[in-house]
Amino acid sequence: MLGIIGAMEVEVRTLRESMSDVEALTVAGMTFYKGTLEGKEAVLVRSGVGKVNAGLCSQILVDRYRVEGIINTGIAGSLKNEVNIGDIVLSTTAVQHDVDAVGFGYQLGEIPQLGVKEFPADAHLLEVALKCCREANPDIQTFTGRVASGDQFVNSREKKQWILEHFDAYCTEMEGAAIAQAAYLNRTPYLVVRAISDKADDSADMDYSAFEAKAVEHSVRLIRAMLRAL
């Protein structure tokens, strides 16, 4: 069974409406919907925004549902010029841009004593997602690359530039790397799938509202195609 974590109500609602045999359970304020989606058993949940919510949500998926893998869908701000609003970024790896223990002898983004700085995504999930995305969303570009997460909505050119310089990531959002860390600690495969809603710069707040719906449409279409293919 696959776990699907969305950060926002709108994406989870869209997927939940096409689920059958749904059993709902609320834990830690998050409602988990177990059921059948595109003929496959899945648990769908809205984690809420930010790394703590995302980490907790992942652990519940592992403990209560014994999921074989976790897919995190949602939207993100683009960090590279060629990644446009509406395009999709699939994670090759995920890092936390707001972790800074440099003064303690670690690299920027590295969590002390864990032994790794970033968390590689599952190669099989990535391969299936890439193939499905090109088929399900032929009118947009699909990128694979590093995702940089942090407890910040990035909406300034300076901050965007800083993340890009230090992490060379394709997009930034607020949950992916926390899910990746939880998946790593539980030896569970994961993938982050993000549709770009804004450019993470001074126009981010405006673009976010205008393009959120379009971006969600692309990620939902991809998740459905992936479930059929897996």
Q: Point out which span in 50-58, 85-93, 130-138, 169-177 binds ligand ADE (CB under 6 A).
A: 169-177
DSSP sequence for 23-43: EEEEETTEEEEEEEETTEEEE
Distance CA 72, CA 5 (A): 5
For position 75 contacting ligand ADE by CB under 6 A, the verdict is yes
60, with CB counted inside 10 A (0-12, 13-18, 19+), is buried
For position 170 contacting ligand ADE by CB under 6 A, the verdict is no
Distance CA 18, CA 37 (A): 7
User: What is the contact mask toward ligand ADE in residues 113 to 152, using x (rule: CB under 6 A)?
Assistant: ----------------------------------------
Distance CA 2, CA 71 (A): 8
User: What is the contact mask toward ligand ADE in residues 186 to 225, using x (rule: CB under 6 A)?
Assistant: -----------xx-x---x---x-----------------
Known catalytic residue at 11: yes
Cβ at position 128, least distance to ligand ADE in Å: 24
For position 93 contacting ligand ADE by CB under 6 A, the verdict is no
Cβ at position 159, least distance to ligand ADE in Å: 9
For position 106 contacting ligand ADE by CB under 6 A, the verdict is no
| Continuous H helices in 34-192 | 51-65, 123-136, 157-167, 176-185
Known catalytic residue at 217: no
Q: Which is nearer to ligand ADE, 194 or 221 (CB)?
A: 194
For position 154 contacting ligand ADE by CB under 6 A, the verdict is yes
> Which one-letter amino acid corresponds to residue 62?
V
Q: CA 228, 9, 212, 35: dihedral to nearest 10 degrees?
A: 0
**Polymer length in residues for the chain:** 230
Contact status, residue 173 vs residue 74, Cβ threshold 8 Å = yes
Number of residues engaging ligand ADE in binding (CB under 6 A): 14
Residues with catalytic roles:
11, 198
Q: Using CB under 6 A as the criterion, which residues of the chain lie in contact with ligand ADE when the complex forms?
A: 75-77, 153-155, 172-174, 197-198, 200, 204, 208
